[in-house]
Structures are given as C-alpha cells and as structure tokens.
Amino acid sequence: MKSIKILFLLAAVSIFGQNTPDNQLANYNFPKVKSSITMPVTIPLSEISNMINASVKELIYQDDSYTDNNNDQFKVKVWKTRPIRLVGGTNQNLLIEVPLKIWAEKGIGTLGIYSYQSTTFETVMSFNTTLNLKNNWTISTNTQPNGFRWVTKPVLDYGKIQIPITSLVEKNLKEQQEKFCKTIDQQMATQLNFQQYAIMAWNVFSQPFNVSEEYNTWLKVTPINVNITPLKFYANQIDTSLGIDVYSETFTGNKPAASQPVKSASNFNFIPLLTDKFLLQTTANIPFTEATNIARNMFLNKEYDVRGSSVKIKDIKVYGIDDRIMIEAETEGYINGKAFISGIPVYNETKKKIVLSNTKFNLKTSNFLQKTATLLFKGKIVKMIEDEYGIPTQDLENNSKKSIEESFNKEYYKGLKMSGKVFNLKPATILLNPSGITAVIDTNAILKLILNGI
C-alpha cells in the first residue's frame, strides 16, 4: 500500500517555492523556518472498497460435506458476485453491502437413502462498521451484521414437489455473516495500519535533500508534530484535516548532518478544528550583484544640481554591513568623493519593492570646502534613494506563486493527487547574508489532498 505517499507529500510541500541562492554563496545556513501546514484530506470510500475487495476472494465460503452439522445433508458454496460496496453513515460508521451468489444442495430421504437437489440463488448481505482512528497511526473497526435481503429465494425443485429452504439457508448465512464480520475487521486493520509507513517516511526525510546541484543547496525538513481533526463520513468519502508543524532549513555548501532515525512514529494529536488555509514560509535570495545592477540602471551617470553646479554619479555598488544595506556612490563634479547611504531593508507592499528604512548618510571627500555642501547633497541623494531605489519583488512574487501552484496541482505519485491555490504571497522578513539579500516569504494557501488508487 502506498499510504507513505501522504507523509511524503507533507514533507515535500515545504520545498515548494524555495529559490536557490546565488552561486557565490558558500556554507551559509539560512534561517530555520517554522511552518504550520494544514491540508484537508479526502479519502473516497471507493478506495477502501478496493482494499476490501482485493482482500476478499470470489469464493467466500464452501461446505462440501453432507454429514457435518449433525448430518444436515447440506452442501453450500458462496461467491461474491459484484464488488463490495461501502456507503458512509452518519455516526462515524460505514455501511457495507456484499452481493452474494449461493449454490446449495440438499438431500431428502431417510435410513441413509437420499435424493439430492441443488439450487442457486442470490442475496445481499449488509454490515455496519464503526471506524476509530487511533493516534498511533492505526485504525480499528468493529463490524456487526446488519441483516440481508433476498434477490432470489432458495427453492429445491423436485418436479411436483418444491421445497423452500429459506430457513435452513438463513441459519447458515447468519453464522457465516458473524464470521465475515471478523474477516472485515482483520482485513481493514491490516490494510489501514499506517504506523510502519509513518516510520519509513519520517526516516526518509531525516536525510537532507539536494534541491540544487548548481548552487549546492540542501533542504532539510523536520516534522515537529501532527494534528488531525475527527473523521467526517459522507455518502461517498471520508474527510479529515492534517495539521503539520515542521522546520524547514536551507543550507549551502557541505551537506548538513541528518537527523537521528526513529524506530516508532510519534503519536499525533486530535483537535476539533483546523483552518483550511495555511501559512508556509519560504525563502528567496537576491545577490548583491543583482542589487548593484538595479542601482546602476537607476542612477549611473545621473547628475544633481548643488549650488548651481552639478554632481554626477560615476559608479555605484550595493553590499551589506551587519543588518544594513550599504549603497556606495562615487561622485564627480562639484563634489568628488564617495557618498555612503545605508538603511535597513524592509518590504514595501504598495511599491512591491524591498526598500531602505532608517537611512543614514556619510560623505567622504578630500576637499574640506566641499563639506559645506554636504547637507544640500545629503537631502537630494537620500531623498532620491528613499523614493526611487528598491529591489522589485513583483516578478519574484508572481513566479513564486506560479511555481507553488504548479507544484500544488499535480499528481506526484500514482494515486495521490493535490489541488491547491495560493491566495496571498509576500515577503515578510528581510535578512542579509554575505552574498545577498534573503527574503523570507509568507505564503497563504489552501491545499487539498485526494487519494485515488492506493
């Protein structure tokens, strides 16, 4: 069974939207991001029907002896004629229907002399199964007989004499129905035991994944805990919601150490309600080389009027110092020197840009007299930087949204389909690393998981 795919998806979902950093970045560990992922899960009852039908053979019961059961002179064979059908009840239960064809042969006589006649008839046997999801990843069921209805009643035809054997067959069917309840419970307990797959999935994801060979980037996903809402039964499906708290960590350079493997899957928590929306935090990286190119396109060779003279920017570059972005502008003309404008990077949602806040200005020039123009020049260039300079994020946001939605809306593995939509995505926290700017992106999305063909 491929139930492991569920857990694979839960870990893989934190990869969506991760952009690789500039390849100049080496051995830098990105922030450890805690994410809470919530996914509604739909399990079609047809899938459970498929599991039960696969485990129940066509020939369900056979009695080949005339002399057993107190010499009842009765033989019987029971076949499944059509697939077993499941319907959701209203009290966390399943209603199961098993269509049967029965061949029976009865001997009529005395003193060891019997005349035998056979008949074939059909019935539909019904069961009521209550289902309990345990927090150790197993499912227990309690199946009880719910009667049966005749499609064709059993009658032995001896020509002039027709002998109905309904009462005899019913007694036998009731006995077999009791036994069949145990068979259903055993098969469902075996087929719906997710414990071993939870352990396998957990250990698979303790190993870091190489998400980019070009940039030598690794992603490590660490589940923290899992929350599950009570199962809801409908006519054709079972719904629940999974809430998974995970840490996702991005590394560059050497492969990080794997987490220690587990021998048992941690129990999950039952909670009454989970929202159908989740927040996933991912990261995108803008190298300082790109930030510098943006500044050069905006300001290189631009001239400013200071006291009737011009100041021209002949070179400009962008880099980071501690938690501040530094814009270094080399000027010529009325002021020859270097102007340093630094600021803390923040996201401006209106402009769709990463801009500078809390700006500071410093001017280095060899001409002491030029320093009297510092205040005038400072006012112009700082205002220019604050008003005009910014690292556009619109394309980054659009591309990330497109990438995530493409990842959400596909069938990763046979039998496991996702359907999702991003309805809000924006940079939240802006961090600096030695080679560029890291934007931690908050992604609000909805995601649905559908099992089909497990």
Q: Which whole-number Å values give the CA distances from 424 to 49, 280, 282, 401, 404, in the listed order?
A: 38, 11, 13, 8, 12
The residue among 11 and 138 whose pLDDT is bigger is: 138
Are 310 and 304 in contact by the 8 Å Cβ rule? The answer is yes
pLDDT at 224: 81
Most confident of 60-64, 126-130, 131-135: 126-130
Residue 445 is given by DSSP the state E
Structural tokens at position 36: 């809470």
pLDDT at 22: 43
Residue 30 is given by DSSP the state P
Average pLDDT along the chain: 78
Strand-pair partners of 85: 97
**What would the DSSP string read from start to end of 216-272?**
TEEEEEEEEEEEEPPPEE-SSEEEEEEEEEEEEEEEESSPPPPPPP-SSPPPPEE-S
HSE of 273 in the Cβ direction (CA atoms, 13 Å)?
1
Structural tokens at position 272: 């009454």
- How confident is the model over 219-237, as pLDDT tens digits? 777 778 888 888 888 888 8
279 burial type by CB count under 10 A (0-12 exposed, 13-18 middle, 19+ buried):
middle
Residue 446 pLDDT > 70: yes
pLDDT at 309: 79
CA dist 169 and 233 (Å) reads 34
pLDDT at 5: 36
Nearest to 285 by CA among 444, 442, 427, 445: 427
Are 181 and 145 in contact by the 8 Å Cβ rule? The answer is yes
CA dist 441 and 438 (Å) reads 9
Averaged pLDDT for residues 166-182: 81
Residue 454 pLDDT > 60: no
pLDDT at 16: 34
* Residue that the structure tokens 């129940």 belong to: 56
pLDDT at 278: 67
Structural tokens at position 76: 């019987």
pLDDT at 330: 92
Which backbone phi and psi does 187 adopt, to 5 degrees? -65, -40
**What's the order of all strands across the beta sheet hosting 324-333?**
303-306, 309-321, 324-333, 337-348, 353-365, 391-392
- How confident is the model over 316-356, as pLDDT tens digits? 999 999 999 999 999 888 888 888 999 999 999 998 899 99
Nearest to 320 by CA among 348, 288, 363: 288
Residue 416 pLDDT > 60: yes
250-274 core/surface letters (b: 16 or more CB in 10 A; e: else): bbbeeebeebeeeeebbebeeeeeb
Contact partners, residue 392, CB within 8 Å, separation at least 6: 294, 352, 353
Q: Which amino acid is at 49?
A: S
Averaged pLDDT for residues 136-153: 88
The residue among 305 and 10 whose pLDDT is bigger is: 305
pLDDT at 71: 76
CA dist 108 and 157 (Å) reads 12
pLDDT at 453: 53
pLDDT at 15: 33
pLDDT at 328: 94
Residue 40 pLDDT > 50: yes
Residue 47 pLDDT > 60: yes
- How confident is the model over 188-216, as pLDDT tens digits? 787 777 676 667 656 766 778 676 665 56
Q: Which whole-number Å values give the CA distances from 392 to 317, 347, 353, 397, in the listed order?
A: 17, 10, 4, 10
Task: Please tell me the least confidently modeled range out of 2-11, 192-201, 425-434.
Answer: 2-11
Residues in the chain: 454
